[in-house]
Amino acid sequence: MTAPLVLGIETSCDETGVGLVRGHELLADAVASSVDEHARFGGVVPEVASRAHLEAMVPTVERALSRAGARLADVDAIAVTAGPGLAGALLVGVCAAKAYALATGKPLYGVNHLAAHVAVDQLEHGPLPAPAIALLVSGGHSSLLLVPDLATDVVPLGATIDDAAGEAFDKVARVLGLPFPGGPHIDRAAAAGDRNAIAFPRGKYADGTSDFSFSGLKTAVARWAEAREAAGEPVPVADVAASFQEAVADVLTRKALAACKATGVDHLVIGGGVAANSRLRALAAERCAAAGVQLRVPRPGLCTDNGAMVAALGAELVARGTPPSAPEFAADSSLPVTQVVAA
């Protein structure tokens, strides 16, 4: 029997993503990004993001359907990010998804953005082993999760107590005079630098918890650069970028492997926009191989926010026979990761 065709809509931040998934097969992934509109502000402006979602929604849905060779009537279910995220941006996606569901009579699933970042790995590597540890790192989130069952049971182990890793990348990039968003530009600059040139601090490195802290690291980079400038010396951008990137990757991978050891779980999934970082991927692969842990990281294009991940989680829920969300479910900017499906 053919698996159901699921349409996924993602609008939690600055990317309007629409994906079409059948089972674990990705048929289309269309993204409209408003990042250029935010660049001059040095960060995401919620009102600008919401307006961009309104303008991009219908064309992006039509583009995804065209790429998949499908019509809206062919869709068996619709999934949309209900939270967490920017409240206004989420509302655009939720309202659009409700309109599509009402017009087509299809079931609608409001899903958790973080759980969707885990689910997208199944499009590349097949069914997720149970249990697994998930490390999610992005501009808004740095979380360690125990995932006994992706559809029903996600357990938070730790999270950032201040800046998320991606947020720290953006702020350090600003210090170094690099464009927004900072992650890709720091990664490129670091390729020409020495990651051992500067001993930047590792927040909460060996405190025995699964929590993260990147605010102190961000401040340390800024103070180091300010001291160089005050002394009339040039800031070695490549070395600073490489040393900062190493500090982030070191902490993230150390905490993730410690969580695997503490729980006895031998599969680690890394997701979120920072998972596209080349040093994080390389260091995770090196440390997982040494620890006997199986590492799963989606290709970079599936790490950033996209509709494919929402459709992937929706497909999983449909396959499990999970009841759809109630028609009146609301967007929730602080939706807890323990709630995979909006009530």
Strands 294-296 and 142-149: what pairing? unpaired
Positions of E strands within 114-248: 132-137, 142-149, 153-159
Instruction: Name residues whose C-beta falls within 8 Å of residue 241's C-beta, 6 or more positions apart in sequence.
Output: 172, 176, 178, 186, 187, 189, 190, 193
Tell me which fold the domain 5-120+306-319 belongs to: Nucleotidyltransferase; domain 5 (3.30.420)
pLDDT band, very low/low/confident/very high, at 42 (cuts 50, 70, 90): confident
Residue 38 confidence (pLDDT): 82
* d(C-alpha 130, C-alpha 92), whole Å: 34
Q: Tell me, what's the pLDDT at 41?
A: 81
Q: Is the predicted pLDDT of residue 1 greater than 80, yes or no?
A: no
Average pLDDT for 215-239:
97
253-264: average pLDDT: 98
In which residue ranges of the chain is CATH 3.30.420.40 found? 5-120+306-319, 129-298
Categorize the per-residue pLDDT at 343 as very low, low, confident or very high, splitting at 50, 70 and 90.
Answer: confident
Average pLDDT over residues 36-47: 84
Note the CATH number of domain 129-298: 3.30.420.40
Say what the pLDDT of residue 39 is: 80
Cis peptide, bond prior to residue 181, ω within 30 of zero: yes
Q: How confident is the model at residue 76 (pLDDT cuts 50, 70, 90)?
A: very high
